[in-house]
């Protein structure tokens, strides 16, 4: 990908080297003091049950929701951090990709009579605080609709190449563009509609909605790829294959097989390798925003 010399986005919040912590302003001692009273009331018992679910659920998901429950604040302790030359180049690359997605989505939104609100990209190392809670780098890149920011620990790109077998700068760009796709869904109200549609549904039905949402984000990433290639001639030979390889590498079916688990389609939340490749390719080949309506088509077909 011909990215060097490109515009770097100013919407980057570099928190690498910061230590994410939690300060509850004495919440724990207060909770212990009122524990007997909480146990005696129905509301109190409900609060305690929710607390247990949050704590153990947070450990499972890798996102710490306890600060949100307790109403405390999160603290970041800055530290002196000097990235390696290779890591800094990755940070520069990510800022250029972000800037290019801004150009693409500003143009698309204008064509739809809308105004694009540019998100912030947060670079972190190890752990990070967000409006969605505290998360570790183990969860991979993610988008938080609560603060309209996307979060990336640059070490994920090494995992993408070494563990998932998807090297290359355009594979990395695909990851960024996919998370931007979730931001677009938030701006358009799609994410909110998906959450509403999942209320009262079975787990399998909620997962099916999630698949449609994730595949649309793949298609939106493909739209950016189309613009980067056709409008700005940024792609090198082999770049498309890198993105398709990355999309295939993180399909639910492939990840379940690699983990030694049985493939269970009802548990899919992102789509199969074949589906992810197909929807990225649809956006990339067409460059047509209307072609990315995964909710009208059948992504499981």
Distance CA 79, CA 119 (A): 25
User: Which residues of the chain carry a pLDDT beneath 50?
Assistant: 22-35, 52-78, 301
Per the DSSP assignment, residues forming a β-bridge with 130 are 133
Q: In the prediction, which pLDDT does 237 show?
A: 96
The per-residue pLDDT for range 180-236, each reduced to its tens digit, is 999 999 999 999 999 999 999 999 999 999 999 999 999 999 999 999 999 999 999
pLDDT of residue 82: 86
Task: Quickly list H helices, 73-115.
Answer: 85-111
Return contacts of 295-299, CB within 8 angstroms, 24+ apart. Answer: 295/212, 295/216, 299/211, 299/212, 299/215, 299/271, 299/275
Both tokens of residue 98?
């972000």
**Residue 72, pLDDT score:** 45
Q: Mean pLDDT of all residues in the chain?
A: 86
- pTM for the predicted model, two decimal places: 0.80
In this structure, the strands spanning 142-144 and 133-136 are unpaired
Residue 283: the pLDDT is 98
pLDDT of residue 226: 98
Strand order through the sheet with 133-136: 63-64, 133-136, 127-130
């Amino acid at each position: 990908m011909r990215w060097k010399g490109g515009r770097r986005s100013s919407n980057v919040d570099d928190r690498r080297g910061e230590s994410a912590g939690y300060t509850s302003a004495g919440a724990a001692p207060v909770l212990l003091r009122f524990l007997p009273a909480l146990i005696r009331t129905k509301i109190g018992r409900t609060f305690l049950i929710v607390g247990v679910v949050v704590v153990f659920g947070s450990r499972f998901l890798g996102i710490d929701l306890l600060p949100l429950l307790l109403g405390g604040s999160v603290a970041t302790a800055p530290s002196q951090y000097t990235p390696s030359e290779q890591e800094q180049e990755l940070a520069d690359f990510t800022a250029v990709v972000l800037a290019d997605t801004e150009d693409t989505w500003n143009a698309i939104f204008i064509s739809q009579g809308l105004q694009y609100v540019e998100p912030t990209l947060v670079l972190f190392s190890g752990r990070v605080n967000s409006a969605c809670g505290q998360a570790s780098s183990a969860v991979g890149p993610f988008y938080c609709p609560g603060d309209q920011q996307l979060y990336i620990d640059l070490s994920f790109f090494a995992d993408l190449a070494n563990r998932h077998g998807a090297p290359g700068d355009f594979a990395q760009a695909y990851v960024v563009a996919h998370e931007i796709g979730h931001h677009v869904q938030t701006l358009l109200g799609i994410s909110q509609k998906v959450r509403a549609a999942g209320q009262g549904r079975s787990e399998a039905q909620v997962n099916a909605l999630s698949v449609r949402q994730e595949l649309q984000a793949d298609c939106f990433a493909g739209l950016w790829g189309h613009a980067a290639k056709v409008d700005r001639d940024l792609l090198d030979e082999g770049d498309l294959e890198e993105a398709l390889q990355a999309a295939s590498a993180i399909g639910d079916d492939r990840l379940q097989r690699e983990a030694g688990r049985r493939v269970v389609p009802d548990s899919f939340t992102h789509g199969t390798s074949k589906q992810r490749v197909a929807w990225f390719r649809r956006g990339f080949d067409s460059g047509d925003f209307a072609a990315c309506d995964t909710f009208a088509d059948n992504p499981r077909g």
